[in-house]
Structure 1
Amino acid sequence: MPGWARVGAYACRVVEELKPQCSAKGCRAAASWALRWNNPKLHTADYRKTWLACEQHRESLGEFLSLRGFLREVTPFGAIS
């Protein structure tokens, strides 16, 4: 049974290692950028949320956040401080 493992008398679904993926709808590509943002109407100035982006979606996700005045910074993924 691919994707399944036997544990005693039970068959258990094997969970693959989770890898950070792009936040764009339907995209499963590996994340290479972190888009850090906040909504100033809801969040304090120092609060940040993070969307992850692949190379293909970095610009479109960034534009979406920028048009709303939410984008604060874009960093290579893994360089979040």
Structure 2
Amino acid sequence: MSTPPPADEALICSARGCRAPARWELRWNNPRLHEPDRRKTWLACPDHRESLGGFLDARGFLREVVALPGSPTLEG
């Protein structure tokens, strides 16, 4: 199990090479490997929310997308 980063450490987008602050949590699971209630999380900045979500959704893995606490909820 992973531990959350320290409160003063910025959450960074999970897209390869991106160092932008994350604004969204993409919660997913692989039904062939994970129990139905287990969720893994990728973080996304506004620029990568669609591409990361599309990658997961095309495989049937995406379960939900939620705004990170304290982040703007407007898409952008």
The TM-score with structure 2 as length reference comes to: 0.79
Larger Rg belongs to: 1
Query: Could you list the runs of 5+ residues in structure 2 that have no partner in the other structure?
Result: 1-7, 71-76
Partner of residue 49, structure 1: 40
The TM-score with structure 1 as length reference comes to: 0.74
String of CA shifts for 1:20-52, please: whole Å, max 9, x gaps. Answer: 000000000000000000000000000000000
Structure with the higher strand share, 1 or 2:
1
Q: CA RMSD in A?
A: 1.3
Moved over 2 A (4+): none
Separation of aligned partners in 2, 1:21 and 1:31: 5
The count of corresponding residues between Structure 1 and Structure 2 is: 63
Q: Percent same amino acid at aligned positions?
A: 63
Partner of residue 57, structure 2: 66
Query: Could you list the runs of 5+ residues in structure 1 that have no partner in the other structure?
Result: 1-16
Structure scoring higher RCO (CA < 8 A, sep ≥ 6) equals 2
Asked if residue 36 in structure 1 is aligned to residue 27 in structure 2, the reply is yes
